[in-house]
Amino acid sequence: MTTDGRTRRRADTRQRLFEAAVELIAEQGFSATTVDDIALRAGVAKGTVYYNFKSKTDLFEELLRHGIGLLTDDFRAAVKGLPPREAVAALIRSQLEYIRRYRAFAQLLLSEMWRTNREWQQTLVLLREQAIGVIAETVRAGVDSGDLPADLDVRVASSALFGVGLVVAVDWLVFTPERPLEDVEESLLAIVRRVGTTT
């Protein structure tokens, strides 16, 4: 049908724009990436970017929403039905796999997450809450079940877990991509176990 055809065409275009934008912004940052670059890499005319998004900033915010949405979904799927101890390991694995798959998006997050005073800061903080929320639920379950120490600050620990996972994974992919994922996973697990028992 006409409507479907049009809808699909438009959705395709948006997807292409997302992909082009993620890569470029990961490499160069938001401001250094031009709308021309994005359109060129997506293979559409510049005007098409504006037909599909209100502005460059809008495109970026939707991108953040989309990317963190996927990560949050992965997190939820990973912990589903697992006992606390295994759930934490599953989250780490899930995060690593996500970052390996969407490396550009992860780089971009790493660059923007601890900035302040950017237009999309509010959006980003909210999205961060969302992703860290899933980790926090898992950690809390661990605390409740006695698998993790009762005095653990759930918020702080979840935030740190997220951040450490992000740097370690990105550092891996950027500087020593030949290391196997399992190796990195092992290091991260060691960190978590340790943190769990001391803080």
**Residue ranges binding DNA (CB under 7 A):** 2, 5-7, 9-10, 12-13, 31-36, 44-52, 55-57
Rounded distance between C-alpha atoms, residue 161 and residue 135, angstroms: 8
Could you say which DSSP state residue 179 is in? S
Q: List the interface residues with a second copy, window 9-68 (CB under 8 A).
A: 26-32
CB-count exposure of residue 12 (10 Å: 0-12, 13-18, 19+)? exposed
- Give the contact letters, 171-190, x = binds to a second copy (CB under 8 A), - = no: x--xxx--x---x--xx--x
CB of 87 to a second copy, least distance (A): 20
Please identify, using beta-carbon distances, which residue of 31 and 116 lies nearer to DNA.
31
Q: Choose among DNA, a second copy, none what residue 72 binds, the Cβ cut-off being 5 to 8 Å by kind.
A: none
- What Cα–Cα distance (Å) separates residue 192 from each residue in 69, 97, 158, 162, 163? 24, 17, 10, 11, 12
Could you say which DSSP state residue 147 is in? S
**Can you tell me which of 71, 136, 141, 168 binds a second copy, judged by CB under 8 A?**
168
Residue with tokens 């502005």: 55
Q: Which tokens belong to 156?
A: 């702080």
CB of 77 to a second copy, least distance (A): 25
Rounded distance between C-alpha atoms, residue 73 and residue 101, angstroms: 14
Q: Choose among a second copy, DNA, none what residue 7 binds, the Cβ cut-off being 5 to 8 Å by kind.
A: DNA
Q: Choose among a second copy, DNA, none what residue 126 binds, the Cβ cut-off being 5 to 8 Å by kind.
A: none
Cβ atoms of 41 and 73 within 8 Å: the answer is: no
| Residues engaged in binding a second copy (CB under 8 A) | 26-32, 107, 110-112, 114-118, 155-156, 159-160, 163-164, 166-168, 170-171, 174-176, 179, 183, 186-187, 190-191, 193-195, 197-199
